[in-house]
Structure 1
């Protein structure tokens, strides 16, 4: 499968597959975010997910995929540090603000920085039509955040710090998207990067949150572990999809298309978390989707 994927790089078929993978990652990333914002402590939810995907990835990394080339070890070290910063910022954000308020800001800040980073690092350039699409998408995302900020009444006193942290988290999203795209392109087999990344990345949060585990009721332990295992599978599919998309096609386009996750997040917030979605928010979500369509067809 690896050789087949590599053969599609830079082709029309590769572009179409990257589009599908980016949209799949969008839905799954929204689901992943909601899993961390449920009834459990976001720190423990993330730790349960990380521990699960680290353990699941271990046999694949050690016994299935080719071992990383020597030059990959510094790349893995850099990815580890960046993702630690991202997880700390994300957990602080989700523990302070309503999901439908902070999530759009995180996802809106990320693609703008990622597009700029892809231009500087990979020499990618957007057409004027694609920049228009980015503007439309971002107007919908930040409009949604502004609307939510005005109308959400839960934890009102913590919303401003939560929004500031959401911008920081968005910066980390752009950083890891660009850096990990570089990493998955630096190895011959893309699945080598993915397997080793998940095994290494699964270490930090379980260790960092060790003391918190002793404070949860015993009745919540099994549901939290189950949430972690579910989140691990979602993470494999979501992160794996967007990373493969960045290897097959342009990093900037994949980053922008993934941010249609805001639409899916609003739907999940409404259906699963019981957060209201009215006609104005629906219109703003339509802007997000329209911006993504413009980016794709103006390329």
Structure 2
């Protein structure tokens, strides 16, 4: 599998595979976000997911994939720090704001930062039409957040700090996307990076939420365990897909395509949570998709 993926780097087929992987990551990322925003404390939901994917990844990291090269250990340490700060900001965002409002802000600010960062780190260059597509996508995503804000009637006084945390979270989405793209390119086998990343990344949140777990009623454990296991496999395919996409194609383009997750999040909110979509939200989602298409095919 690794050899096949590596053979696609720099090829037209590799670009097509990267496109498919980025869209898969978009759908799964929206589902992953929804799993953290339910009846349970978002801190505990994230801890259950992290513990699950860390435990499941451990035997693959230790016994299946090749061990990391020596230069990878500082890279893993950096990834651990960046993702820890990201998770803290994300949990603070979700505990303060309505999912339909804060999620689009996180995803709307992320791609803009990621494209700029990819240009600096990887020297990626984009056409004027691609910048137009990016601007259209970001504007439509933030417009979706603003439109959703109109319907929020509970805890509106908490929305301003929630939106501030959402922007900060979006910045860290761009940071970890760029950093991890560099990390997965720094090792010979991309699955070595993924397996070790998940094992290491699963450590912090369970430890940080230990006191919350002690106070949790025993009746809630089965539901959180189920959510953790489901979330673990969603995370594997979501994060794994976007990381492999960044290895096969431009980091910025993959990051932008992933932000069509906002469209999938709105559809999930409509189909599962019973939210109304309406003509305005439908039009904004169409503009998000159009912006992603322009970004991808105008290069």
TM-score of the alignment, normalized to the shorter chain, above 0.5 = yes
Q: State the distance in 1 between where 2:263 and 2:91 align.
A: 21
1:133-144 aligned within 5 A: 133-144=133-144
Deviation at 1:154, TM superposition (A): 2.5
- The equivalent of 1:8 in structure 2 is 8
Q: Please, which runs of 5 or more residues in structure 1 have no aligned partner? A: none
SS of equivalent to 1:151: coil
- The equivalent of 1:91 in structure 2 is 91
1:52-201 aligned within 5 A: 52-201=52-201
Q: State the distance in 2 between where 1:152 and 1:264 align.
A: 20
Deviation at 1:155, TM superposition (A): 2.1
Q: State the distance in 2 between where 1:214 and 1:279 align.
A: 46
- The equivalent of 2:207 in structure 1 is 207
Q: State the distance in 1 between where 2:276 and 2:159 align.
A: 17
1:58-103: CA deviation from partner (whole Å, max 9, x where unpaired): 0000000000000000000000000000000000000111111000
1:99–1:269 CA contact under 8 A, matched in 2: no
Q: Does 1:275 align with 2:275?
A: yes
Q: State the distance in 2 between where 1:274 and 1:40 align.
A: 19
1:91-134: CA deviation from partner (whole Å, max 9, x where unpaired): 00001111110000000110000000000000001111100100
SS of equivalent to 1:214: helix
TM-score (norm 1): 0.99
Q: State the distance in 1 between where 2:266 and 2:155 align.
A: 18
Q: State the distance in 2 between where 1:154 and 1:129 align.
A: 40
My pick for the range that moved more, 255-264 or 151-160, is 151-160
Deviation at 1:219, TM superposition (A): 1.1
Q: State the distance in 2 between where 1:74 and 1:274 align.
A: 45
Q: State the distance in 1 between where 2:276 and 2:171 align.
A: 28
Q: Does 1:29 align with 2:32?
A: no
Deviation at 1:144, TM superposition (A): 0.5
1:52–1:228 CA contact under 8 A, matched in 2: yes
Pair 31,85 (structure 1): closer, same or farther in 2 beyond 3 Å: same
Q: State the distance in 2 between where 1:36 and 1:107 align.
A: 15
Deviation at 1:274, TM superposition (A): 2.8
1:109–1:171 CA contact under 8 A, matched in 2: yes
SS of equivalent to 2:215: coil
- The equivalent of 1:46 in structure 2 is 46
Q: Could you say what the CA RMSD is over the residues aligned between the two structures, in angstroms?
A: 0.7
Q: Please, which runs of 5 or more residues in structure 2 have no aligned partner? A: none
Q: State the distance in 2 between where 1:190 and 1:150 align.
A: 44
TM-score (norm 2): 0.99
SS of equivalent to 1:288: helix
Q: State the distance in 2 between where 1:75 and 1:117 align.
A: 17
SS of equivalent to 1:124: coil
Q: State the distance in 2 between where 1:278 and 1:163 align.
A: 23
Q: State the distance in 1 between where 2:288 and 2:92 align.
A: 26
